[in-house]
Amino acid sequence: MDPGEAAILESSLRSFYWLFAPLPPLPPLPAALPGRMNVIDHVRDMAAAGLHSNVRLLSSLLLTMSNNNPELFSPSQKYQLLVYHADSLFHDKEYRNAVSKYTMALQQKKALSKTSKVRPSTGNSASTPQSQCLPSEIEVKYKMAECYTMLKQDKDAIAILDGIPSRQRTPKINMMLANLYKKAGQERPSVTSYKEVLRQCPLALDAILGLLSLSVKGAEVASMTMNVIQTVPNLDWLSVWIKAYAFVHTGDNSRAINTICSLEKKSLLRDNVDLLGSLADLYFRAGDNKNSVLKFEQAQMLDPYLIKGMDVYGYLLAREGRLEDVENLGCRLFNISDQHAEPWVVSGCHSFYSKRYSRALYLGAKAIQLNSNSVQALLLKGAALRNMGRVQEAIIHFREAIRLAPCRLDCYEGLIECYLASNSIREAMVMANNVYKTLGANAQTLTLLATVCLEDPVTQEKAKTLLDKALTQRPDYIKAVVKKAELLSREQKYEDGIALLRNALANQSDCVLHRILGDFLVAVNEYQEAMDQYSIALR
């Protein structure tokens, strides 16, 4: 081989070598320059902008990268990624998955706090001040507690919040703790937490209601807001508002109605939907269904999207036989939101008064699933169970309703009806006497006690005396009129019964009273007028 060919061969071999030789490893990516955003900053900004689906996708990919290469992100960056990913899961209502990621984030934060010196990152690390703003560990625990409450794991929620030192608890943490303690029947820590909320936020009205519901005196609660009332203009109504709801939670319906009416008449608070709803509920508790319906209708006209209290309104309409109105109300509420208990209760009332008890039971259960504190849902389900012959199950629901609303007479009425249905007259009598002593001698409690006395031949005279007292207090109280008419029917005093019913119907119209009057008129051979009364009842 001549020298020229050798040179050409050598040049070709060198080209071949460089073409197929393995590439050297790439140098590490340079750290982000000061002031330049890294990928974690982008994730944070998207989370702040509410781009939750985008955060979920990107953080999932970055977490996988981190798992495959632990050196890719620093411990603080890994903590941030876990929190933002968990937040996106929370937004998508994947609460159990979110809890898992929040737990991993807290473990990462714990490891991070033990390390005084952060590991150098081979990837996207940056030393910008923004990258050092880590998500609050307390906020992470609060989000975990929210997840647990959505999963109906209240004990776990209390445990995670209890782990936060008292001095580090924000008002919303204390508020959640107070509500959870109250739900668990732990009154003392609940009161303490509500008071802490008021100490930090003296105009937290729901915390005020929480304290009043736990039998804290109105004067004591008012004293906690005195400074803000004296220093902030246009808050002179607040002390009266506290007084009104103190009456509400002690069961003094009459004084509560008068106090709220005085508030509602003030020019600045006139036509307030919340006050009207409270008035409607108070009239209902006092047995004044006519005024209750009027106030609910007034509130509904002011706010067509109102949901709160509409379950009671639907029950009153159903009880009056206005089933078409109940059906329309249910459809309207479902169009507003199907994630509240009220639409399901209203539809359940329609089914119950249409004698479709199985469907009413299902709808009541669905409402309780959405809101386990819905008293009206518990009463609906209890009534459906009772009418289906499942009395013992019904008793459980009525007892829970009493626990949640100890001042509502209809909860006790449902339980007593269960006792009477199972011939447990003694238990019914004990309960009726307790209600009479607890809520006071008013037309409603007198009538309830008389209802039980009517079941025992020995106490018929006592029942008559109690009903006379009730009608003396409130001649228009329908339940007392119905029971007195029942007693007169037993004694065959039809003329007295007709006079009683005519007097009751002079200023109101009720289908039950018209039907009973029709029965009495038949008994005295007044058939034509009886037909007229039956026609009115059907209308």
List, for residues 18-37, the tens digit of each pLDDT value: 444 554 554 444 444 455 78
Q: What is the mean pLDDT of residues 382-392?
A: 95
What does the chain come to in residues?
539
SS3 sequence, 1-54?
CCHHHHHHHHHHHHHHHHHHCCCCCCCCCCCCCCCCCCHHHHHHHHHHCCCHHH
pLDDT per residue as tens digits for the range 259-295:
999 988 877 889 999 999 999 999 999 888 889 999 9
How many whole angstroms from its chain centre is CA 153? Answer: 16
What pLDDT score does 371 carry? 93
pTM: 0.82
pLDDT (0 to 100) of residue 111? 84
- Residues 74-85, mean pLDDT to the nearest whole number: 94
Smallest CA-to-CA distance from 515 within 491, 539, 490 is with: 539
Torsional class of 118: left (φ above 0), alpha (ψ -120 to 50), beta (otherwise): beta
Confidence of residue 15 (pLDDT cuts 50, 70, 90): low
Mean pLDDT of the 347-357 span: 96
How many Å separate Cα 86 from the centre of its chain?
Answer: 25
**Banded model confidence at residue 10, pLDDT cuts 50, 70, 90:** low
CA distance 183 to 264: 31
Residue-wise pLDDT tens digits, 468-479: 999 899 888 888
Q: What phi, psi does 169 have (nearest 5°)?
A: -80, 125
Cα–Cα dist 447/466, whole Å: 7
At residue 123, the pLDDT reads: 42
Which tops the pLDDT comparison, 518 or 115?
518
Distance from C-alpha of 455 to C-alpha of 463, rounded to nearest angstrom: 9
Q: Show the DSSP H helices in 205-237 as ranges.
A: 205-213, 218-223, 226-231
Q: Residue 27's pLDDT is what?
A: 47
What pLDDT sits at residue 6? 54
- Predicted confidence at residue 537, as pLDDT, reads 80
Given a cut of 50, whether residue 205 has pLDDT beyond it is: yes
What average pLDDT does this structure show over 102-126? 68
Share of the chain above pLDDT 90, in %: 63
Instruction: Give the pLDDT mean for 351-374.
Output: 95
**In terms of C-beta density within 10 A (0-12 exposed, 13-18 middle, 19 or more buried), how is residue 294 classed?**
middle
Cα separation, 252 vs 257, whole angstroms: 9
How many separate helices (H) and strands (E) can be counted in the chain?
Answer: 30, 0
Q: What is the pLDDT of residue 11?
A: 58
Which range is least confidently modeled, 33-37, 250-254, 444-448, 457-461? Answer: 33-37
Angle between helices 137-150 and 171-183 (to 10 degrees): 30
Mean pLDDT of all residues belonging to the chain: 88
Split at pLDDT 50, 70, 90, the class of 14 is: low
Q: Is the pLDDT of residue 13 over 70?
A: no
Mean pLDDT of 246-258: 92
Give which of 263, 270, 273, 208 is closest to 236, Cα–Cα: 263
Query: Has residue 47 got a pLDDT over 80?
Result: yes
For residue 517, give Cα distances in angstroms to 99, 317, 474, 479, 488. Answer: 62, 22, 19, 14, 12
Helices (H), 286-374: 289-302, 310-319, 323-336, 341-353, 357-370
Percent of residues, the chain, with pLDDT higher than 70: 90
